[in-house]
Amino acid sequence: MGTRTPLTWSVLIPVKELAQAKSRLSGLGDADREALALAMAADTVAAAVGCGPVGAVVVVTGDPAVRAEAGALGAEVLAGQPPAGLNQALLAGAAYARQRWPGRGLAALTADLPALAASELAAALAAASSITQSFVADAAGSGTTLYMAGPGAEFRPRFGPASRQRHRQNGAAELDLPGIRGLRQDVDTMSDLRSAARIGLGPQSAAVEKALGERGALRECVRDECRAAR
């Protein structure tokens, strides 16, 4: 009996221009918010680059700082995010990846996973290797952090509000795996960042969080977030 060759994946990571990223991080100044968004994207890209089943990481972005950081980490970079938004950016990345590396699976990964470990991504990709379409929901339970389509399958990302439900309705199977807390913990708010820190931040995100904490910026940000929630 022959041994099945493990599936190789192209991972697509769209990153907004930093000036527009993470607007819900209440209380952080623009420079701090952009530094944190860049650090989280860098840690996400680094984890994907270091993941065994991943043959290539393609970052789609219009931001020059993100392009430089992602390229230095070993990712392929497509300049410019289509104006239609995140899903269109992913479709552009998918078209590039399929032309460049035909026969691979395609995986769309959000860029705000500072606690992601390469082993978690590998576990999800392994579970998805025999499924036409699949996804991993975020920790909050309404969104999606990872969407995957096997070789030859139509690539139909449905990121945005209520993306968990939208991916389900589009025929994707939800993967409920143990031990992938970092993969599920995206960061939109300071509460999310604290949850990611309890899991364990990547080096760049940890450095930014430490600097913010030493300046008291995190305390101010948490107070602003609590006021906004009232």
**CATH number of the domain that 179 lies in?**
3.90.550.10
Under 8 Å between Cβ of 56 and 97: yes
40-55 in b/e form (b: 16+ CB < 10 A) is: bbbbbbbbbbbbebbb
Q: Are 107 and 98 in contact (CB under 8 A)?
A: no
Edge to edge, the sheet with strand 9-15 lists 76-79, 54-61, 9-15, 105-109, 144-149, 133-137, 173-174
Half-sphere exposure in the Cβ direction for 211 (13 Å, CA)? 13
The bridge status of strand 76-79 relative to strand 54-61 is: parallel
Of all residues in the chain, what percent carry a pLDDT higher than 70? 90
Parent domain of 39: 9-152+160-229
Domain-located, residue 185: yes
Instruction: Please name the helix (run of DSSP H) or strand (run of DSSP E) that holds residue 39, with its range, or none.
Output: helix 30-49
Mean pLDDT of the 145-168 span: 97
Q: Answer yes or no: is 131 within a domain.
A: yes
* In a domain? residue 115: yes
- Domain total in the chain: 1
How confident is the model over 81-110, as pLDDT tens digits?
555 689 999 999 999 999 999 999 999 999
Mean pLDDT for all residues in the chain: 91
Mean pLDDT, residues 202-219 taken together: 86
Q: Which two tokens stand for residue 73?
A: 């980490």
Residue pair 71/24 in contact (Cβ under 8 Å)? The answer is no
